[in-house]
């Protein structure tokens, strides 16, 4: 398991779910089972999530928030979309690929410290931050 995924599980996933999520992410067979319902997940630490104001829920708005919080140019994706899952890419490109497409995706900017979650539910977009 790469650092982004390990830190995602260690910090942003509820303690009672960590072992199961970790096992699912490392297994190609079970990874799809996990990412397939990822967009509706309740396995996250809610106290580390901040819902993004609806007027800022654009590619540029979310990019600005993440950069202000220290996000680098590159990020890593855990996604319901098999074309994006497990990929590293430019942050701006990732947000353009993710926002508004209805696939649950976690964009890891700084492993275990900063990320963005695009829920499968319209308008539910969150910044995850561990200070």
Instruction: For residue 48, count CB atoms less than 10 angstroms from its CB and return exposed for 0-12, middle for 13-18, buried for 19 or more.
Output: middle
**CA nearest 9: which of 117, 79, 111?**
111
Structural domain boundaries of the chain?
3-129
Per DSSP bridges, beta strands 49-51 and 88-90 are unpaired
Per-residue pLDDT of the chain (131 residues; tens, 9 = 90+): 478 999 999 999 999 999 999 999 998 888 888 888 777 777 899 999 999 999 999 999 999 999 999 999 999 999 999 999 999 999 999 999 999 888 899 999 999 999 999 998 888 899 999 98
**H or E stretch including 90?**
strand 88-90
């Amino acid at each position: 398991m790469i650092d982004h995924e390990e830190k995602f599980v260690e910090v942003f996933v509820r303690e009672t779910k960590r072992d199961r999520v970790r096992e699912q992410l490392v297994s190609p067979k079970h990874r799809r089972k996990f990412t397939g319902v990822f967009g509706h997940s309740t396995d996250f630490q809610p106290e580390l999530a901040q819902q993004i104001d609806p007027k800022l829920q654009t590619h540029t708005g979310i990019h600005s928030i993440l950069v202000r919080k220290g996000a680098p140019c590159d990020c890593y994706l855990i996604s319901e979309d098999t074309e994006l899952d497990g990929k590293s890419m430019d942050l701006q490109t990732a947000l353009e690929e993710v926002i508004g497409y209805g696939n649950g995706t976690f964009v890891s900017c700084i492993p275990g410290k900063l990320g963005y979650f695009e829920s499968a539910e319209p308008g539910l977009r969150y910044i995850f931050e561990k200070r």
